[in-house]
Chains A and B, each alone.
Chain A
Amino acid sequence: MRELAYYEAKFEALDEIMSADERVHLINGTFLSLSPHRHVYQNLQKKFAERMVAPPISELGFCGLAIGAAMAGLRPIVDLSTGSFIYEAWPQVANEAANAYSMSGGQTKVPVVFHLFHGLRGGGAAQHSGSPQSMLWNVPGLEIVIPSSPRDVKGLLKTAAASDNPTIFVDHTRLLDVRGEVPENDKPIPFGVADIKRKGSDVTLIATSYTVQVCLKVAADLAKEKIDIEVVDPRTLVPFDLATILASIDKTHRVVIADETHQSCGVAAEIAARIAESGFDKLKAPIRRVSTLDVPVPYSPPLEEHIGPNEKRIGAAVRAAVA
């Protein structure tokens, strides 16, 4: 089957989305951050120049512009680049976009996509390494998508662009060079359907975004120790596919959750709570979380490596779960 790099799959999706629907406009950014592949964005710029806006540095203002445009019939995709920058746009995202459909009694749709790169990127320090998805999960009215593979980024981006709701598309720069199978004419991936990235029988390892790739390495390593790990990727936080996770736990009876949001009130905390409420009787061991430690992200490489959901910490949590 055809193999693509993550960034290629993502750009194929953007190209197909914009070719198919003239209402899609791209607001701000390059959708590739500062990666070496950012030149591919120029192909889009040549092709769709009239549907691309490079606004001033004003996240609050241009997110509002995109939301208003969505209310009036366009389907904008806004690039916030670094995930922490969405904090600058919080009033528009959390107070206006997320509420408009509900407050209007279902009369005003807001089909906007907010694209952002979250997470530990290697020397990003505290203001450029944020993972705001757990805070956003606390805002009803937003769909949250968090891909981890080339096939997923393409399929999920197409669904996000077609959605009638405000959608947060959470990406990770460390995924850009990951390669994987992407079939020609692949179908869009529906929201709310988790994906088993690796089958296993001893422990259910739930992971999101780049951490899925880390967990696949951990699973390969621990297979040598005869620990058979099932890696489950929810793919979307809103809507959330609890059923697939519970079915996996039915088989393994053990759960580890690895995710790059901070530990307190983070993604892993919410998933753990849902499993405890609905699947406590299936568990033979406590649920274990491997999240980013509750500190502002430090700059120096060994410090950054230490606080994140790295292979060492995930491996230790899995061993403890099956002990």
Chain B
Amino acid sequence: MLPKLPREKLLDLCRRMFVIRHFEETLVGLYDKGVFGGHYHLYCGQEATGVAALSCLRADDYLFTTHRNHGHLLARGVDPKRLFAEILGRVDGLNKGKGGSFHSVAPSLGFLHSSGVVAGIIPLSTGTAYASKALKNGRLTVCLFGDGSLEEGAAPEAFNHASLLKLPVLFLCENNGKYGAGRATGAAQSTTMAAYPLTELPKAYKVPAQQIDGMDAGLVHATISEAVEKIRRGEGPQFVETQTVRYPGSETNWPTVPKPTDTSLAWDVSGVPEKAREWYRSCDPVLIYVRELVDGKQATKEEISAIERQVKAEIAAAAEFAVASPYPKPEEAETGYFA
């Protein structure tokens, strides 16, 4: 379902989903061409969670994220030029090339630190929440992580602290194991987590926890809005697990793009390779959202195509900017490790 928001806001969410999707697909192309060689993980398939959830936040809230951070940064409005440049290790990157894909930050948008250790951010998120409570500034922290993060011991320790100290933090687990490769549908974590469903773990520490469909932007928006309100009222931490997919379906960390996304795929998948058709037809959260916009008479196909064309041009220009950006001077490696 569509989030209960005015039309302009609904179209803005659509635009942000396109930004993420086209950014990631362009990134795959740059990697395939050998423009960069570092690690990267894609957010494709999780747009409905990221865009809808982050739209519920205040501009000064804190966010922590990990491997699939591009989507969160872009959903929050980071400049795609500078994110591309960071992933390419260029001087115009968000972190001047010192962090790369795993560690991209944007303090002005609330991203102070992104970690490549999956549960590393969970204790940190209790820390910013502790500071907000001490400083009485009303800032909330959202900690975004995948299902694998719960396997590390840092997670339960942090849930315990957040619960005991009633900290203003939202633990948002994007479980992208739905349709996971080699795992039974809907039961992916039963092989790695004895605390299953995953909500059992925070609940053991008296952190209220719920599980929802992360492909449904309306449901995500309603659930996160409510959780955020409770936290702001001083009720302490909340945990939400959204079930999402990896793109496309269950590809590996370095995926191929069967066909670059285009709004026309929302209605016609005949040009797509057979094995990927079902994904575009029923799983892709961006195309689900596009169909809902049209079916709900919030926008015409033409209007949506126009937004997408604009986003594609912006992303193409951003990639061009990053490719043209120089590498930092080698001596820069020896500087800037102490404030």
Contact = CB atoms under 8 A, between A and B. Distances in A.
Interface of A: 25, 51, 53, 55-56, 58, 60-74, 91-92, 95-96, 99-109, 111, 140-141, 143, 164-165
28 contacts: A56-B160, A58-B157, A60-B153, A63-B123, A65-B124, A65-B127, A65-B130, A68-B64, A68-B127, A68-B141, A69-B134, A71-B124, A72-B127, A72-B132, A92-B120, A92-B123, A96-B120, A101-B337, A104-B98, A105-B94, A105-B95, A105-B96, A105-B98, A105-B336, A106-B96, A106-B336, A164-B339, A165-B338
A66 B154 CA distance: 14
Given A25-B134, A92-B123, A58 B105 contact: no
Interface in B127-148: 127-132, 134-135, 139, 141
B336 A108 contact: no
A141 B113 CA distance: 15
Contacts of A102: 98, 336-337
Interface string B161-180: 10011000000000000000
A74 B157 contact: no
B135 A95 contact: no
Contacts of A55: 161, 164
A248 B117 CA distance: 45
B62 interface: yes
B161 A143 contact: no
A104 B99 contact: yes
Contacts of A62: 123, 157, 161
B127 A101 contact: no
Interface in B47-65: 62, 64
A101 B338 CA distance: 7
Given A71-B131, A73-B131, A101-B338, 20 more contacts: A55-B161, A56-B160, A60-B153, A61-B157, A62-B161, A64-B124, A65-B130, A67-B123, A67-B124, A68-B126, A68-B129, A74-B130, A91-B120, A92-B154, A96-B113, A102-B98, A105-B95, A106-B96, A108-B113, A141-B337
Interface centre among B124, B128, B165, B336, by most chain A C-beta atoms within 10 angstroms, is: B124
B95 A53 contact: no
A137 to B, nearest CB: 14
A221 to B, nearest CB: 40
Contacts of A74: 130-131, 134-135
B58 to A, nearest CB: 15
Interface residues of B, number: 44
Nearest to A62: B161
Contacts of B115: 95-96
B125 interface: yes
Across chains A and B, which 6 residue pairs bring their CB atoms closest together, nearest first? A68-B127, A64-B123, A61-B157, A105-B95, A72-B131, A68-B124
Contacts of A60: 123, 153-154, 157
B120 A95 contact: yes
A108 B95 CA distance: 10
A67 B161 contact: no
Given A58-B157, A58-B160, A165-B339, A73 B120 contact: no
Interface string B86-118: 000000011111110001010100001101010
Given A58-B157, A95-B120, A105-B99, A65 B134 contact: no
B92 to A, nearest CB: 11
Contacts of A100: 112-113
Contacts of B120: 64, 91-92, 95-96
A51 B134 CA distance: 8
